[in-house]
Amino acid sequence: MMRRPMVLVMAACAGAACFSEHEPDLTDGGLTCERAELPAGPDSAIVVIRGFAYTPAHLTVAPGTRIVWVNCEPEGTAGHTTTAEDGSWDSQTLVRGDVFSTEAPGPGVHEYFCRPHPFIRGQIVVADGALAQGEARLARR
């Protein structure tokens, strides 16, 4: 009879171990997106789409940084894109939980917007040096 409770305890512990890794924090306010996937490695930055805005709207990164957009709008909200003004990237329409990523384009200021909602705008500054790396680290928090 002790065997059944022990099996349940072991199953509960195994289940807890599966969920013990923390889901990454994807926004400034502690919001996490259930289906978001972060790329491996330290050279990435996250932009969250929520409240019909990109957060952060202005991002400075080093060349080669992987930039990841995650749609964290409530279920049923119209989809969004991330589309570079210069055509260097253009995502599919992202609905809640969808992810799009691209490597930072060449050095300079890169403006982008949402095709269905052109008032949603963002800016990525690709700059060499420690400043860009420090700001990219802050964006990952």
pLDDT at 24 over 60: no
How far is Cα 108 from Cα 112, in angstroms, rounded to an integer? 13
pLDDT at 112 over 90: yes
pLDDT at 89 over 60: yes
SS3 17: helix
- In terms of C-beta density within 10 A (0-12 exposed, 13-18 middle, 19 or more buried), how is residue 106 classed? exposed
Residues of the chain with pLDDT > 70, as a percent, come to 61
How far is Cα 30 from Cα 43, in angstroms, rounded to an integer? 21
pLDDT at 139 over 70: no
DSSP 91-114: PPPB-TT-EEEEE--SSEEEEEE-
Average pLDDT of the residues in 11-19: 37
pLDDT for the residue 42: 65
Report the predicted TM-score, pTM, of the whole model to 2 decimal places. Answer: 0.66
pLDDT at 123 over 60: yes
Higher-confidence residue of 125 and 141: namely: 125
- The pLDDT confidence band at residue 91, using thresholds 50, 70 and 90, is very high
pLDDT at 108 over 90: yes
Number of other CB atoms surrounding residue 53 within 10 Å: 16
Contacts 24+ apart (CB under 8 A), 91-95: 94/49, 94/69, 95/71
What amino acid occupies position 99? Answer: V
